Amino acid sequence: RRMSSTKRGAFVVIEGLDKSGKSTQASLLHDRLQGSQDAGDTAPPKVVLLKFPDRTTAIGKMIDAYLRSESDLDDHAIHLLFSANRWELASTIMAYLTQGTTVLADRYAFSGIAFTARKGLSYEWCRAPEVGLPAPDLTLFLNISPEVAAARGGYGLERYEREDVQTGVRQVFDKIGRAVQDEGEGKWVEIDAGKNKEEVAEDLWRAIEPLVTGVHGPINKLWE
């Protein structure tokens, strides 16, 4: 109906520090992509929005308890839970893409690596469980300095919502962005998230628009 049968949906990931505006922008993008498709339409959805961690699953509930400091876990164990939380959605992502649905993800494997490597675990070890996941066609990194993020209504009470943590995480994100570009693992586009909400939304839209009618080619596997 709206795309040729040779196209599949695009997989677009939004990454960034806490308080960079990711969730707000992801939901604006979702609404804009969904456009006029009405509720009674039986065609596959044009777009779905996934959120990682997905706190609704059994694994997600363990992650949620950890983030709210209701439980303590070894750094390796929580890392693997975050990764498992992506793997439990991997076949769902593949199915959406195959049927032509655009998949938007609010955070993905890159957050997984950045938040754990910041703790001192090796980059390679952190990356290993993410290898083979469906690879994004495009990653939009909402770039904001930790100081500006902190000034923006402040951080909440969750485990990583501290300026020193965010500063370390951002350094790993920079390394990941370069690696993704160099290794040809899809596109990594940095968006200035210090601008106002409407401007950021426009910049994101410009980056994603070429992909919204679908993309050609197989669904790649991350780092494989």
Residue span binding ligand TMP (CB under 6 A) among the ranges 8-16, 109-117, 140-148, 208-216: 109-117
- As a whole number of Å, the end-to-end CA separation of the chain is 33
Residue span binding Mg ion (CB under 5 A) among the ranges 16-24, 91-99, 100-108, 191-199: 16-24
Q: How far is the CB of 161 from ligand TMP (least distance, A)?
A: 6
Q: What is the CA radius of gyration of the chain?
A: 17
Locate 51 and state its tokens: 């959120």
H-helix or E-strand spanning residue 203: helix 197-208
Q: How many CB atoms lie within 10 A of CB 57?
A: 15
Q: Would you give the binding string for ligand TMP spanning residues 124-163, x where CB under 6 A is met?
A: ------------------------------------x---
H-helix or E-strand spanning residue 106: strand 102-106
Residue span binding Mg ion (CB under 5 A) among the ranges 4-12, 18-26, 100-108, 181-189: 18-26
With binding defined as CB under 6 A, does residue 54 bind ligand TMP?
Answer: no
Q: Strand, helix or coil at 29?
A: helix
Q: How far is the CB of 130 from ligand TMP (least distance, A)?
A: 9
